[in-house]
Amino acid sequence: SYELTQPPSVSVYPGQTARITCSGDKLGDKYASWYQQKPGQSPVMVIYQDNKRPSGIPERFSGSNSGNTATLTISGTQAMDEADYYCQAWDSSTGVFGGGTKVTVL
Amino acid sequence: EVQLLESGGDLVQPGGSLRLSCAASGFTFSTHAMSWVRQAPGKGLEWVSVISGSDARTYYADSVKGRFTTYRDNSKNTLYLQMNSLRADDTAVYYCARAQQWLSGGFDYWGQGTLVTVSS
């Protein structure tokens, strides 16, 4: 079965850039989406179709996807960005989520 | 405003059954594929199923195939998840989510989730 691999955790200082990777076989041939989830809340889409931001998502969130790796970049990270982040893609008719990355703002 | 409201979560014994509902509003329900996604306590997100908008094609995760059935009533703007032969590892918060595109895009709206606990 298809798998998406994320680092368990990423730490970043306020104002710095956080990069979260998501690896999967030929992931660049698929669309990747990213979700932010804060404790006790439902996930919120922050990136879709590799690099598009839904309405209301700050510009500091950006995405890329090439080869076997999709990357979510948070520029100028703020304390409010501390959360779990999940990548997601479709493998044929199966939805797949990465294991999630906990972003800690130091 | 798009809203998704799940209901039906409960405590159920192993081997039992439960039906979840997801009431949708604020968009043309019949034109959107919908998915169920679950999250076990302290764990990550797990995709469960997807159903197309008009012709109700369905696909399932291997972990629930043959036990869970997803269906929809477009006249009631409601999505359902019938869960049979429940096991302890089905314990999770179950979310319904709207799919942007059929088997291609992401999930742009999520409900608040409903908790299913499978325990004796």
Q: Look at residue B54 and tell me whether its pLDDT is greater than 90.
A: no
Q: Would the pLDDT of B8 be above 90?
A: yes
Q: Average pLDDT for residues B11-15, to the nearest whole number?
A: 98
The per-residue pLDDT for A80 is: 98
Interfacial A residues in 10-39 facing B (CB < 8 Å)? 31, 33, 35, 37
Angle at A35 between CA B78 and CA A71, to 5 degrees: 145
User: Each residue of A16-50: pLDDT tens digit?
Assistant: 999 999 999 999 999 999 999 999 999 999 999 99
- pLDDT bin (cut points 50, 70, 90) of residue B11 is very high
| Per-residue model confidence (pLDDT) at position A89 | 98
Size of interface A-B (CB pairs under 8 A): 64
Q: How far is CA B28 from CA B6, B34, B50, in A?
A: 18, 12, 17
Contacts of B61 in chain A (CB under 8 A): 94-95
A35–B112 CB contact, under 8 Å: no
Amino acid identity at B82: Q
Burial A29-39 (b: 16+ CB within 10 A, else e): ebbbbbbbbee
